[in-house]
């Protein structure tokens, strides 16, 4: 039986911790673009997807657990995770998706807590695509949702990844609904317009978060 890390999640300490903004949104909503603008403003960004990629690199314990759970076909001939195969598997079978999440999410959570604790900045951005789906709201102080219409999501993912429409819609269906994200949001950035409009919205949120962080520090 494959070993998965299902132990209780560590508590989030408030000591030496900046204001933590959880940035989320559906696939193709523009989370990475928004995070990049925050970085240009000098704000530290922690990305759960980047952490996950590092954890499944060849030789990492998480990759061994995934191989044990999903079989040797989970990696290619060079020992690299076959992301396309795994993505198709987990988004077509909720049980398999939960198995993968049980392996990765506790590890990602611990790393996010470690990284946010050591940040010396008024606030930071933590990009967590599945923030709501995995009930990780306690990791953050505020939730910032990047919102866009489904048609734009499909168009962007098609251009970026070349995935077929059916596969993209399956991913969207497996994620939190647009309404549930918006209802959970403390702030919303709309990404239906131009890059300049997007940058203007990020700037406004940046100024707001600096003020909140200043009040919190007093």
pLDDT at 78: 87
Q: Residue 21 pLDDT > 70, yes or no?
A: yes
**Nearest in space to 185 (alpha carbons), one of 1, 24, 7:** 24
Three-state SS for 28?
coil
The mean predicted confidence, pLDDT, of the chain is 89
Instruction: Output 14 or 189, whichever has higher pLDDT.
Output: 189
At 67-115, the pLDDT tens digits run 999 998 889 888 899 988 888 888 788 899 889 999 999 999 999 999 9
Higher pLDDT, 218 or 130: 130
Distances (CA, A) of 49 to 24, 54, 55, 107, 108: 12, 9, 10, 12, 9
CA terminus-to-terminus distance, the chain: 51
124-to-53, 86, 106, 117, 155 alpha-carbon distances in Å: 21, 31, 21, 10, 30
Name the CA radius of gyration of the chain, rounded.
18
Are the C-beta atoms of residues 14 and 24 closer than 8 Å to each other? no
List Cα–Cα distances, 92 to 3, 103, 104, 111, 175, in angstroms.
23, 18, 18, 28, 12
Residue listed under structure tokens 């952490």: 51
Answer whether 22's CB lies under 8 Å from 188's CB: no
CATH number for the domain formed by residue range(s) 19-217 = 3.40.50.300
| Per-domain residue ranges of the chain | 19-217
pLDDT of residue 34: 98
pLDDT number for residue 16: 58
């Amino acid at each position: 039986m494959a070993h998965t890390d299902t132990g209780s999640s560590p508590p989030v300490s408030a000591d030496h911790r900046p204001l933590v903004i959880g940035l989320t949104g559906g696939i193709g909503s523009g989370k990475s673009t928004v995070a990049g603008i925050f970085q240009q403003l000098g704000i530290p960004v922690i990305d759960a997807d980047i952490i996950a990629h590092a954890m499944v690199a060849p030789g990492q314990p998480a990759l061994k657990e995934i191989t044990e759970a999903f079989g040797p076909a989970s990696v290619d001939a060079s020992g690299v995770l076959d992301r396309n195969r795994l993505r198709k598997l987990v988004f077509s079978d909720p049980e398999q998706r939960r198995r993968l999440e049980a392996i990765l999410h506790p590890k990602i959570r611990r790393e996010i807590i470690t990284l946010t604790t050591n940040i010396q900045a008024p606030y930071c951005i933590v990009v967590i695509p599945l923030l709501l789906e995995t009930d990780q709201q306690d990791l953050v102080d505020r939730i910032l949702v990047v919102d866009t219409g489904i048609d734009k999501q499909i168009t962007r993912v098609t251009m970026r990844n070349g995935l077929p429409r059916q596969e993209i819609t399956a991913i969207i269906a497996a994620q939190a609904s647009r309404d549930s994200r918006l209802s959970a949001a403390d702030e919303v950035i709309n990404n239906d317009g131009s890059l300049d409009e997007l940058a203007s919205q990020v700037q406004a949120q940046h100024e707001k978060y600096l003020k909140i962080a200043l009040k919190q520090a007093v």
